[in-house]
Structure 1
């Protein structure tokens, strides 16, 4: 049984390493731009150039992955990302890293990483089936690897930037994509035929239509996009302003972020452990309700760190339980031949509101003040997270039969 599960564990490990590299680049590449150009505007351009193609390819790469196969797409995307990201410090050392070259490298690198992540999604249920692992557990391990990579990648990048410099940190980041590519190539078997009839636009339209006709998946897409928008308003604007105005201690940003991330990781691992034995709709609904509005309301009510820290950590724990459920439901409801394009579109939809969240938080805070902005966003989050309790489509979260307690 252990040998049958080795491909799933290898895939999960590769995901964690790749996400850690992504977290490192999120700090190291902007720092490199700032240290070489001194321009915050150019730093923002590079960040956009990296993330916009990444999100776009989450939607567009599905038909390509269907054509070449999930494993090949994952390996190819990570391998090309390795080459492109490693080229940044090489060009820098040679004196040829102009701003235009950097933008091109990070844009194409973001695009191929988007393809790699789109290809990874369909491999998870295939490896779970091969190893006889419940889907909630497989989705939880996959999500947990991503959370762990984010949790470790950012502080590791800070240490490396301080000790070895931004170019060396970017080089390490590029190597992580190469490690992920080799791990998947050697240790993960192929899944699916890699041959799908029809053209690119037809395949893309088929995937998007599938989401539109499945009310539960469409509800998940809308819920995740809306809550991410409000979470971004909290993280990018409301938290920094609250800390500046009430705590006057910038170090508290790290404490709150750490509490949320650790809580979310624990929630993911808990769901991976026992999630397949629990009633999905009840856990999912409570997880979103308890993980959504409480941090907003706590910050509106308190002016000290301790209670907000505790509530933020517990909210992260509650919200973390939901990712494995979303993954398991998606794997169950999406036909195997559509998984690459549909899973990519679902993941990309989670990012759609994020750029607007910062604008919303800034506009509300400037127009109404911090407390009213927190209450308004908290009330909106409460209304949004009541959806699974209200709308009949969410009843489909419950399994049609009794699951085993493997």
Structure 2
């Protein structure tokens, strides 16, 4: 019974993430099949993706006040209800499909944030460390990305885009049922009676603004996500074509990253709490970040690139659970909804312009110059938190009671050696 809540959260995440991966394949295929227009396809897909981070941030005060369990269930059942429209009323027109996906995007953001918030609480109820719970959640995410996308292709090919939406709706319905039956809400922050929604939103913003280590992590997320998008959308495909390689090399490199990250995330769940934090961070970010770009700039053969990408996957699965754990430790439990969703919103801010940045660098400097500039910028971004944070001193969360707009710095205490991570 101790593992019931954690197993429920992880199972619900698996269903939701698989449904999302199914939509990423089914929706573009459905719109292209119906219209033949790449522009309309991009517009419909954007309507689902763009609200994701913004609605997470807006839901932050509600996550802290109402509780993540209810938000998760409400978001998933809303998305499921919208996606069954084709089953009930037939193939929708394009405008209705666009509206459906806009609602799904708005509901999915808060629901995903809610499950993320539930992981550390469920891990504690199971008697497990935060890093173990987060490591398992990371492994579930990477597995859903790899297996869910493959399943999506098979379903669209065999059932068609419309019926694939039904399968996604069924997965989201199962996710709602699992959370409702297995997960309990953590103790919620009721706040002051006179505290408005916008007051609570400003409280989260003030906490992040006053917290230098979290600001350093957030800045790193913004820059690295932008550069990752530049690599994925522009630089990696151009490198492959310039070298006379086909899309198989790109697909193999990316799948290698995914599979390796699953294994290392499971390893992090097993013994990540015993690893030295600064060394784990540096090894993880240096192997998974700038090396993926610099290996392309060096003009190495595809075999070497795939080997480096395998190492990148291992590093990614190690340091992502660590950074998630550190956020849990640095943010008081009563503020996590507001602060973590704000960090996510900032982290997504660079993604829409990443492809544009890659294209601009490519046009002005050529492929090699663009790769070196992105690789060096990535290196600078990931090194900054290494000296901005005191990795040797885990931070004990501040008590939830004295929450005001004016926030004192988080207290730092040295733990006994047996608990040091």
Q: Deviations over 1:9-61 (max 9, x none)?
A: 22111111211111110111111111111111111111111111111111110
Deviation at 1:307, TM superposition (A): 0.4
Q: Deviations over 1:91-147 (max 9, x none)?
A: 4xx24x122211111111111111111222221121112111111101111122111
SS in 1 for 2:50: helix
Q: Deviations over 1:70-98 (max 9, x none)?
A: 1111111111111112224544xx24x12
Deviation at 1:285, TM superposition (A): 2.1
Q: How do residues 196-207 of structure 1 correspond to structure 2 at under 5 angstroms?
A: 196-197=191-192, 198-207=195-204
Runs of 4+ in 1 over 3 A off after TM superposition: 88-91, 193-197, 403-406
The 1-side partners of 2:150 and 2:310 are apart by 19
Aligned match of 1:209 in 195, 206, 210?
206
Q: Is the 8 A contact 1:247 1:304 kept in 2?
A: no
Residue matched to 1:284: 281
Residue matched to 2:139: 144
The 2-side partners of 1:112 and 1:121 are apart by 15
Listed as ranges, the gaps of 5+ residues in structure 1 are none
Residue matched to 1:320: 317
**Within the alignment, does 1:134 sit opposite 2:129 as a pair?**
yes
Q: Deviations over 1:163-207 (max 9, x none)?
A: 111111121112111111100000112222363442111111111
The 2-side partners of 1:101 and 1:397 are apart by 53
Q: Is the 8 A contact 2:132 2:269 kept in 1?
A: yes
Aligned match of 2:34 in 33, 36, 40?
36
Deviation at 1:386, TM superposition (A): 1.8
Return closer, same or farther for 1:100/1:175 CA change in 2, 3 Å cut-off: same
Q: Is the 8 A contact 2:220 2:385 kept in 1?
A: no
Deviation at 1:404, TM superposition (A): 4.3
Q: Is the 8 A contact 1:49 1:106 kept in 2?
A: yes
Residue matched to 2:149: 154
Aligned match of 1:378 in 369, 375, 379?
375
When normalised by structure 2's length, the TM-score is 0.91
Deviation at 1:341, TM superposition (A): 1.4
The 2-side partners of 1:295 and 1:247 are apart by 19
Residue matched to 2:110: 115
**Within the alignment, does 1:76 sit opposite 2:74 as a pair?**
yes
Q: Is the 8 A contact 1:302 1:308 kept in 2?
A: no
Q: How do residues 298-377 of structure 1 correspond to structure 2 at under 5 angstroms?
A: 298-377=295-374
Q: Is the 8 A contact 1:329 1:397 kept in 2?
A: no
The 2-side partners of 1:88 and 1:26 are apart by 17
Deviation at 1:397, TM superposition (A): 6.0
Q: Which moved more, 1:185-194 or 1:290-299?
A: 185-194
Deviation at 1:286, TM superposition (A): 2.2
Residue matched to 1:395: 390
The 2-side partners of 1:129 and 1:118 are apart by 18
Return closer, same or farther for 1:326/1:397 CA change in 2, 3 Å cut-off: farther
SS in 2 for 1:190: coil
Aligned match of 1:54 in 52, 55, 63?
52
The answer to which structure has the higher helix fraction is: 1
Q: Deviations over 1:355-394 (max 9, x none)?
A: 11101111111222211111111111122222134x3x31
When normalised by structure 1's length, the TM-score is 0.94
The 2-side partners of 1:184 and 1:371 are apart by 48
The 2-side partners of 1:357 and 1:310 are apart by 25
Question: How large is the Cα RMSD of the aligned pairs?
Answer: 1.8
Residue matched to 1:221: 218
Residue matched to 1:23: 21
Return closer, same or farther for 1:266/1:350 CA change in 2, 3 Å cut-off: farther
